[in-house]
Structures are given as C-alpha cells and as structure tokens.
Homo-oligomer: A and B are copies of this chain.
Amino acid sequence: MKTTVHALLFDVFGTVVDWRGSLIKNLEAFGQKHTITADWSGLVDAWQSEAHGQLVEQIRERTLPWHPLDDVHRLALQEVLPRYGLVGLTDAEVTWIHRLWHRLEPWPDTLAGLSRLKQHYSVSAFSNGNVALLVDMARHARLSWDMIFGADLFNHYKPDAEFYLRACTLLGHEPEQVMVCAAHNDDLQAASELGLRTAFIQRPMEKGPGGPFESPTGSWDLIASDLQDLADQLGPEIIDYR
C-alpha cells in the first residue's frame, strides 16, 4: 500500500530549542546581576535530569500523580537549588528561574527549517511540555506551529502510546501518515512501534560542547543533520517512504 506523510510532529526540547544553552546563558546573566557564583551548567543538567528523567518517569509509572511539566520543573528546581548552594533566593527569583523554560531559544536552523517544512506539511509541536509553556515558548522564539500537542492535553507523557495515537486521531490521519521528528531514540522507538514514521534529527550540541549526545540507534525512516536538511530530504512534495 502506498502511503504518504501529511503531518510532522516535532519533539521540542533539544530537537527544536536549545534548552540547555538557553538556561545556562540566562542563569549566568542572573548570577552576574545578583553577584551569585554557582555551577550553573551543573545545576541545569541536574534540574533537567531530575524533572524529565526522575519525576516524569514516576508520573508515567503512576507512582506520582499527574503533574503538568511546569509543576514538574518547579518540584525539581526546589530539589536541586540547595544542592548547588542556592538557598537564599526570594520567591520572585525562584519563579523567574522556573519560567526560563518558557523562553528557550531555537537552534540556528530551526525557524528557516520549520518555515520550509510548513509549506508542504502540517507542522506541530509534540512535547512533554504543557500547553502554556509551549505557547509562551512559541511566541518568544517565533515558532509558528500549526498545532501544539502538549502533554497536559492528554495527561500522558511520551513515550506513552496514548499521546502518539491521540495526536494522529486529532489530526485526522492514520499513524503511517504522520512522522515524528526527534533527536531522541526512545521517542522514535515508540512512534515506530505504533506505526508512525520517524525522522532522527542529529543534535550533537544538546548537552553542550563535548557533552554526550544520541546517535541514531534504530532503523528510522530518515536521519537529518538539522531541520534544513530535513526539509531538503522531505522535499516539496508529499513522498512515499515505504
């Protein structure tokens, strides 16, 4: 059977925006302004790991009740701040830090790549972020999504199957008409098992210069060096990849 791709679902953190670089840059500026010295990159890595690793997994396993990602970030931040010696911050300062996730910056190729892809495909955010966070981020970074699928629409975090299948249904497409684009193998693995198409986006700088990064480990439909390369490979027409 000939099938065609109609819709692209983009993982956001790491694939579309440079969460780590953006957070560190803003926290370093915060430190300079308030003359606070800290291991900002260590804090950011611990914060992300605690939130997107530990807490999201506990919610997926239902050992923790549902919390949208903004709440997860807040819980993780309160856990991580004292570990990095940040104990005297005001509520307003903690809130300012917490909200940095709403103002992440895109990778250099993101805006041009999404703009080209949008000419021929519907292009949606497909993220564990909550809708409010993703709307703020899109307005800040000028990401013009056709639709935003935030995890709090469904109270399911990726890679829960429900999230992938509900997005396909809401877009009115069969899974094989939808391609998940992500820099993370676990996201594409879930997509692939459910019959969606997969594009691995290489983001060697996600964890910073010299940091660890994921290489494609599955037989994904496409492997792209960035979103411009993805637009080159997908081309101007809806193409059959099987």
Contact = CB atoms under 8 A, between A and B. Distances in A.
Which secondary structure dominates where chain A touches chain B? helix
Query: Could you say which interface size class chain A belongs to?
Result: 20 to 34
A146 B138 contact: yes
A153 B170 contact: yes
A148 B150 contact: no
A145 B150 CA distance: 15
Contacts of A136: 122
A70 interface: yes
Given A147-B148, A148-B147, A172 B139 contact: no
A9 B146 CA distance: 16
Interface string A150-175: 10110000000000000000111100
Interface string A101-138: 00000000000000000000010100000111101101
A119 to B, nearest CB: 10
A147 B208 CA distance: 31
A4 interface: no
B122 A172 contact: no
Given A131-B170, A144-B144, 8 more contacts: A70-B172, A122-B135, A130-B172, A131-B171, A132-B173, A135-B146, A150-B170, A153-B153
20 contacts: A70-B172, A122-B136, A122-B139, A130-B172, A131-B147, A131-B170, A131-B171, A131-B172, A132-B172, A132-B173, A133-B172, A135-B146, A135-B147, A139-B146, A147-B148, A148-B148, A150-B170, A152-B170, A153-B153, A153-B170
